[in-house]
Chains A and B, each alone.
Chain A
Amino acid sequence: MKDSKTKIVFNQEVAPACFRMVLSGPLDNFIIKPGQFIMLRLGMSYDPLLRRPFATHRFKTPEGFFLEIFYRVIGYGTHIMSHMLPGAELRLLGPLGKGFKFSDTLSTALIVAGGMGIVPLRGLIYSLAKSGIKNIQIFVGAKSTSQLLFLTEFQRMDIPVHCATEDGSSGYNGLVTELFHRFLDNHAFKADNHTVCFACGPRPMLAETARLSFIYQLPCQVSLESRMACGIGVCLGCAVKLKQQTHHDQDQKKYGRVCLEGPVFDAQEIQW
């Protein structure tokens, strides 16, 4: 983990209110695993004050290594980001947190994404495909077709994508978790650790995915979001409630730090 000086080389809207930002910098030794994240300082002033957390993906071109961020404009900080121009310098802290895990015995990966949740999962999908995992099924949900990201990319990789939109403009008309539920109903996966769910998205969607994976006895990893100040485990601001593990800590509440123990957690660890 280090704090590096990076430069914006690209920053444009790629879908409604969704921007792609590309950063250059001293990235040769910057190895980031799918699910890990970075904290970006948005300028040199104290407003906005805190760094903002983002998933990122490193790629290589003949000019060297770059980091790619996809972000949705939802508030003050991301609004300011959307107005930044190529050439601007941003401090970048990372890589941070623990990413997704999978082993050689994995044969089927069920990817469940809601909205921008597909962003950290995209890196995972690349890794899974590269490791030769044969059966990858992607379930993505969004408000509307225009907000479904990376579809052509996944199709080019020959990975089946099951879409759900809340306005019915493409795929299933409704929530991605409903679509996922139907799929599980129609396929008898064995609870043998060869099939694993990986999910990222809004909290209610993750809670439902956790519930379904529990019922179908499938291991499930979820990537959580939380407001963060430090990103390195010291402020304790990003806490999420965990389930009590033993009778012994019945009355002791337990919290985990999204930035350090997470952002990827075992779904059954979380007190939803």
Chain B
Amino acid sequence: MVNTAVNIGGIPLKNPVIAASGTFGYGLEFSPLLDLNDLGGIVVKGLSLNPYPGNPPPRIIETTGGMLNSIGLQNIGVDAFIKEKLPLLRNHDVAVFVNIFGHTIEEYVRIARRLSEAEGIAGLEVNISCPNIKKGGMAFGKEPKQAGLLTKRIRKATSLPLMIKLTPQASDIADVAKRVEGEGAESISLVNTFLGLAIDVDTAAPLLSTITGGLSGPAIKPIALRMVWEVAQKVSIPVVGLGGIASYRDALEFMIAGAQAVQVGTANFINPTTCREIIHGIKEYLKAKHIDDINQLVGSLNLPGHETTSD
């Protein structure tokens, strides 16, 4: 038997595959297609204090190997989640991470408090990286100082483990990572989407209502992987890698680069059983390679004979 269990900042997962926020709804939507008990974890759609309507359509557009989205964090609000969704999720043996966002530090703090009173939540994933809302969101994640301050305040407000989700739009993402680690975050996840643009040349108009949107999917994988590798070297708390993962080999790349777990986002749309297939693929790989514990793989990037570029 190979061990696939990992521990993400105090949260035990039976395997390192987590469904990413915004691509898996509140989890239950996938139960006709997938046994949720098979997954390591689920991150639910980003929640705010009050329900949020989201952006006008069109909200999505496919680009080569990826998609741009500008959902604008439409969600049912934290209270409806606790009342309607959480009781059903509790019936499953899967770690539930609740993704939260706010427009102000105070709003983040209040959601965190509210969720601390609820039962059945493994941890909070703090979205300081959404490109699709006008105020807050990514603004916190671009600045190490702001990110640190926010982490500190939420840390005080809850005893739930905190996973801070970083934006690739930060000028130095490793710097942001170090700062949130210093303020007590238990783990870090990266990356959220990259800001992008697509234009309809026939009308010379942007294809999204909000002009720009967040790019996700296989197209972003190499950049996300490089960022995970950089961050993993700078922090000692667990790093959860994501961005374009669609197969077990993609997932293994992130783990070898230093991620202790991975999240699967856009790939859930293309193939709703991607998470299960990745878990299966990882197990088979470990067996074939005679590795008995997945944790041995983490950060095992084989560098002799390679040079990091310098200027």
Residue numbers of A with Cβ under 8 A of B are 1-3, 41, 46-51, 91, 93, 226-241, 252-255
Contact = CB atoms under 8 A, between A and B. Distances in A.
Given A3-B33, A232-B29, A48 B62 contact: yes
B270 A46 contact: yes
Nearest to A39: B269
Interface of B: 22-25, 29-30, 32-33, 45, 51, 53-54, 56-62, 64-67, 69, 71, 74, 217-218, 246, 266, 268-273
Contacts of B273: 3
A36 B74 CA distance: 25
A262 B311 CA distance: 56
Contacts of B32: 1-2
A226 B57 CA distance: 9
Given A1-B33, A46-B246, A41 B270 contact: yes
B67 A50 contact: yes
19 contacts: A3-B272, A48-B62, A49-B66, A49-B217, A50-B269, A91-B271, A227-B59, A227-B61, A229-B60, A231-B269, A232-B25, A232-B29, A232-B30, A236-B71, A237-B60, A237-B69, A239-B59, A252-B51, A255-B54
A41 B267 CA distance: 12
A239 B54 contact: yes
Contact of A239 (B24, B74, B217): B74
A253 B57 contact: no
The 7 A-B residue pairs with the shortest CB-CB distance, nearest first, are: A234-B25, A237-B60, A253-B53, A46-B218, A230-B269, A229-B269, A236-B71
A254 B53 CA distance: 6
Nearest to A77: B62
Given A46-B270, A91-B271, A240-B57, 17 more contacts: A2-B33, A3-B272, A3-B273, A47-B64, A49-B266, A49-B270, A51-B270, A226-B58, A227-B62, A229-B60, A229-B67, A234-B23, A238-B57, A238-B60, A253-B53, A253-B56, A255-B57
Contact of A93 (B53, B246, B266, B272): B272
Contact of B74 (A228, A230, A236, A240): A236
Interface SS, A side: loop
B45 to A, nearest CB: 8
B58 to A, nearest CB: 6
B290 to A, nearest CB: 30
A86 to B, nearest CB: 23
Contacts of A41: 270-271
A235 B269 contact: yes
Contacts of A48: 62
B62 A49 contact: yes
Nearest to B24: A234
B222 to A, nearest CB: 13
**Could you say which of A49, A51, A93 has the most chain B C-beta atoms within 10 Å of its C-beta?**
A49
Nearest to B64: A47
A3 B62 CA distance: 21
B29 to A, nearest CB: 5
A177 to B, nearest CB: 23
Contacts of A47: 64-65
A50 B23 CA distance: 13
A258 to B, nearest CB: 9
Contacts of B57: 226, 238-241, 255
Contacts of A51: 269-270
**Could you say which of B58, B71, B272 has the most chain A C-beta atoms within 10 Å of its C-beta?**
B272
A49 B270 CA distance: 7
Contacts of A226: 57-58
B61 A236 contact: no
A34 B273 CA distance: 27
B207 to A, nearest CB: 9
A272 to B, nearest CB: 13
**Could you say which of A3, A41, A48, A230 has the most chain B C-beta atoms within 10 Å of its C-beta?**
A230
Contacts of B218: 46, 49
B59 to A, nearest CB: 5
Contacts of A2: 32-33
A241 B54 CA distance: 11
B65 A241 contact: no
Contacts of A227: 58-62
Contacts of A239: 54, 56-57, 59, 74
**Could you say which of B25, B30, B273 has the most chain A C-beta atoms within 10 Å of its C-beta?**
B25
A233 B25 contact: yes
**Could you say which of A93, A235, A240, A254 has the most chain B C-beta atoms within 10 Å of its C-beta?**
A235
Contacts of A252: 51, 53
Given A47-B64, A49-B67, A234 B29 contact: yes
Contacts of B24: 234
Contacts of B29: 232-234
